[in-house]
Structure 1
Amino acid sequence: MNTSSFAVDSSRGKTGDTAKTFILPDKCFQKHVGCAWGRGNKFTIYPRSQTVNKTPTDAADSKLMNIKQDILLFTPILRKLVNESNGTYLSLQKAAEAAKVSDNQVEFLKLSRQFRSIIRVCLENLQEAATKAEGIEKNNLLSYITIFYSIECIWHLCEILYIDNIPGDIVLPYLLEWVRFHFPCHEQTAAQLLGACERGSEEHEDYWDTVVGMVVQGRVDVARALLKLHSAGESNEFKLVDNSLRSMPVYSVYGGISTGEFTISWKHWQAECRSKLGSRVLASQPKLELIMKIIIGDYSAFESIRSKYSSWFDILGGWVMFTAPWSRRHELGAAAAACAGMQPAGRSHLDDMVRALLEGDLHQVIHEIQQISDNGWFATHLTDILFHCGKLTIMDKHQTNVTSRLRDSLILEYGCLLMEHKSLWSVGLSYLASCPPEGLRRAELILERMPVDTEAKAMKIIAEAKKYELIGVAQSVCRCMCARHLSAGRAGGALCWAMRGRSSAATARAAHAALAHYTQHAVLPAQDLLLTAGSAMLLSDALLFLGKYCDFHRLYKTKEFKKAAQLLVSLITSKIAPEYFWETLLLDTLPLLESDEPVFTSNDTYEIMLCLELRSSSLDGEKADLLRLALARNLARTALAEGDGTEEKGQ
Structure 2
Amino acid sequence: MDVQSDTPQQHSAMLGPNNKLILCNNSTEGSGELLFKEVNLRPEYDNQFVRNLVNEMSCVFIANQRSPDCPMTVEEVLHYSRSYRAVIKESMQHVQRALMTEDAASADLLDDLMRTLVVSESAWNLMEIIFFQEPQGGELALQLLKWLSIHIDDCRVMMEEVMKEDPVHHHHNYWPAVYGCLLQGKTEGVMELLVASNNTSKSCRVLMSVLSKMPVYQAAGMAVNEYEGKWRMWREELKQMLSQGVFADDDKMAQMAKILSGDLDSILSAVEELSAPWYSYLMAAIFYTQPYAKFHQVQGSIEGAVHRCGGIKSFDTHDSLIYHILRRNLVELMKCCSEEFSSWWFAAHLADVFHQANLLQEKNSLDTTMRDSLLLEYGGSLMQDHRLWNVGIHYLLQCPKYGRYHLQEYLARLPLASTRQALKVLSVCETHGFTQQASSICRVMARREMREDRLGSALTWCRHGKDGNMATIVAEKFLDQYRESVMLPSVDVLDALGPTMLLMSKKLLFLVKLREFHQLVDTGEEKEACSLLVALIKSRTAPARYWFLLILELLPMLESSKVLFTPDEIYDLMNAVTELKQSKSEEMMNELEVSRIQTLHLSLTRCLAKVTLSDSNALVAISCDV
What TM-score, normalized by structure 1, do the two folds share? Answer: 0.79
Q: Tell me, yes or no, if the aligned pair for 2:494 and 2:515 is still in contact at 8 Å.
A: yes
Q: Tell me, yes or no, if the aligned pair for 1:3 and 1:66 is still in contact at 8 Å.
A: no
Residue 485, structure 1, aligned to residue 449, structure 2: yes
Aligned to 1:226: 193
Query: 3-state DSSP class of the match of 2:133?
Result: coil
Give 1:503 shift: 0.4
Residue from 375, 387, 390 that aligns with 2:358: 390
Give 1:546 shift: 1.8
Q: Which amino acid aligns with 2:606?
A: L
Counterparts of 1:246-257 in structure 2 under 5 Å? 246-253=212-219, 255-257=220-222
Aligned to 1:7: none
Give 1:185 shift: 1.8
Q: Tell me, yes or no, if the aligned pair for 1:380 and 1:411 is still in contact at 8 Å.
A: yes
Q: Which runs of 5+ in 1 are unaligned?
A: 5-22, 48-56
Residues 390-449 of structure 1: CA deviation (Å, up to 9, x unaligned): 2233x46xx8886x4333333333333333334333334443333345333333334334
Aligned to 1:81: 50
Aligned to 2:464: 500
Query: 3-state DSSP class of the match of 2:65?
Result: helix
Q: Which amino acid aligns with 1:622?
A: T
Counterparts of 1:273-312 in structure 2 under 5 Å? 273-310=238-275, 311-312=277-278
What TM-score, normalized by structure 2, do the two folds share? Answer: 0.82
Q: 1:65 to 1:329 in 2, by over 3 A?
A: farther
Residue 584, structure 1, aligned to residue 554, structure 2: no
Aligned to 2:599: 622
Give 1:349 shift: 2.6
Q: Tell me, yes or no, if the aligned pair for 1:120 and 1:152 is still in contact at 8 Å.
A: yes
Distance 1:564 1:248 in 2: 106
Distance 1:190 1:584 in 2: 95
Residue 609, structure 1, aligned to residue 571, structure 2: yes
Aligned residues: 604
Residue from 316, 319, 336 that aligns with 2:285: 319
Q: Tell me, yes or no, if the aligned pair for 1:295 and 1:322 is still in contact at 8 Å.
A: yes
Q: Which amino acid aligns with 2:261?
A: I
Residue 358, structure 1, aligned to residue 358, structure 2: no
Q: Tell me, yes or no, if the aligned pair for 2:22 and 2:37 is still in contact at 8 Å.
A: yes
Give 1:591 shift: 3.7
Aligned to 2:399: 435
Residue 544, structure 1, aligned to residue 509, structure 2: yes
Counterparts of 1:504-543 in structure 2 under 5 Å? 504-535=468-499, 536-543=501-508
Residue from 185, 199, 224 that aligns with 2:154: 185
Q: 1:422 to 1:93 in 2, by over 3 A?
A: closer
Distance 1:643 1:489 in 2: 57
Q: Tell me, yes or no, if the aligned pair for 2:348 and 2:371 is still in contact at 8 Å.
A: yes
Distance 1:484 1:110 in 2: 49
Q: Tell me, yes or no, if the aligned pair for 1:89 and 1:381 is still in contact at 8 Å.
A: no
Q: 1:455 to 1:582 in 2, by over 3 A?
A: same
Q: Which amino acid aligns with 2:50?
A: L
Distance 1:481 1:142 in 2: 43
Counterparts of 1:265-280 in structure 2 under 5 Å? 265-280=230-245
Residue 471, structure 1, aligned to residue 435, structure 2: yes
Q: Tell me, yes or no, if the aligned pair for 2:517 and 2:532 is still in contact at 8 Å.
A: yes
Give 1:471 shift: 2.2
Residue 205, structure 1, aligned to residue 172, structure 2: yes
| CA RMSD, 1 decimal | 4.2
Distance 1:45 1:501 in 2: 39
Q: Which amino acid aligns with 1:207?
A: Y
Q: Tell me, yes or no, if the aligned pair for 1:496 and 1:529 is still in contact at 8 Å.
A: yes
Residues 28-64 of structure 1: CA deviation (Å, up to 9, x unaligned): 57xxxx99989968699999xxxxxxxxx99999999
Aligned to 2:309: 343
Query: 3-state DSSP class of the match of 2:463?
Result: helix
Give 1:305 shift: 0.4
Aligned to 1:245: 211
Query: 3-state DSSP class of the match of 1:160?
Result: helix
Query: 3-state DSSP class of the match of 1:356?
Result: helix
Counterparts of 1:6-21 in structure 2 under 5 Å? none
Aligned to 1:71: 42
Query: 3-state DSSP class of the match of 1:588?
Result: helix
Q: Which amino acid aligns with 2:331?
A: H
Q: Tell me, yes or no, if the aligned pair for 1:552 and 1:564 is still in contact at 8 Å.
A: yes
Distance 2:157 2:32 in 1: 65
Give 1:231 shift: 1.0
Aligned to 2:588: none
Q: Tell me, yes or no, if the aligned pair for 1:147 and 1:374 is still in contact at 8 Å.
A: no
Distance 1:324 1:125 in 2: 41
Give 1:592 shift: 4.2
Aligned to 1:424: 388
Q: Tell me, yes or no, if the aligned pair for 1:249 and 1:266 is still in contact at 8 Å.
A: yes
Q: Which moved more, 1:609-618 or 1:574-583?
A: 609-618
Aligned to 1:92: 61
Distance 1:512 1:440 in 2: 37
Q: Which amino acid aligns with 1:445?
A: E
Q: 1:73 to 1:28 in 2, by over 3 A?
A: closer
Q: 1:513 to 1:134 in 2, by over 3 A?
A: closer
Distance 1:236 1:647 in 2: 148
Query: 3-state DSSP class of the match of 2:399?
Result: coil
Give 1:133 shift: 6.6
Give 1:93 shift: 5.0
Query: 3-state DSSP class of the match of 1:228?
Result: helix
Q: Tell me, yes or no, if the aligned pair for 1:116 and 1:152 is still in contact at 8 Å.
A: yes
Distance 1:563 1:248 in 2: 107
Query: 3-state DSSP class of the match of 2:333?
Result: helix
Percent identity of paired positions between Structure 1 and Structure 2 = 25
Q: Tell me, yes or no, if the aligned pair for 2:49 and 2:95 is still in contact at 8 Å.
A: no
Q: Tell me, yes or no, if the aligned pair for 1:598 and 1:638 is still in contact at 8 Å.
A: no
Q: Which amino acid aligns with 1:621?
A: Q
Q: Tell me, yes or no, if the aligned pair for 2:56 and 2:87 is still in contact at 8 Å.
A: no
Aligned to 1:158: 127
Q: Tell me, yes or no, if the aligned pair for 1:72 and 1:375 is still in contact at 8 Å.
A: no
Residues 148-207 of structure 1: CA deviation (Å, up to 9, x unaligned): 443333233223322x334658433432232122211221232245567x7x53233322
Residues 360-406 of structure 1: CA deviation (Å, up to 9, x unaligned): 2222222222221514333333233323322233x46xx8886x433
Residues 481-530 of structure 1: CA deviation (Å, up to 9, x unaligned): 22233345443332222222210101111112212211211221221112
Residue 557, structure 1, aligned to residue 522, structure 2: yes
Q: Which amino acid aligns with 1:213?
A: G
Query: 3-state DSSP class of the match of 1:525?
Result: coil
Q: Tell me, yes or no, if the aligned pair for 2:378 and 2:392 is still in contact at 8 Å.
A: yes
Q: Tell me, yes or no, if the aligned pair for 1:38 and 1:44 is still in contact at 8 Å.
A: no
Distance 1:647 1:112 in 2: 100
Q: Tell me, yes or no, if the aligned pair for 2:547 and 2:576 is still in contact at 8 Å.
A: no
Distance 2:151 2:191 in 1: 23
Q: 1:565 to 1:301 in 2, by over 3 A?
A: same
Q: 1:492 to 1:80 in 2, by over 3 A?
A: same
Distance 1:642 1:421 in 2: 80
Distance 1:553 1:374 in 2: 63
Query: 3-state DSSP class of the match of 1:495?
Result: helix
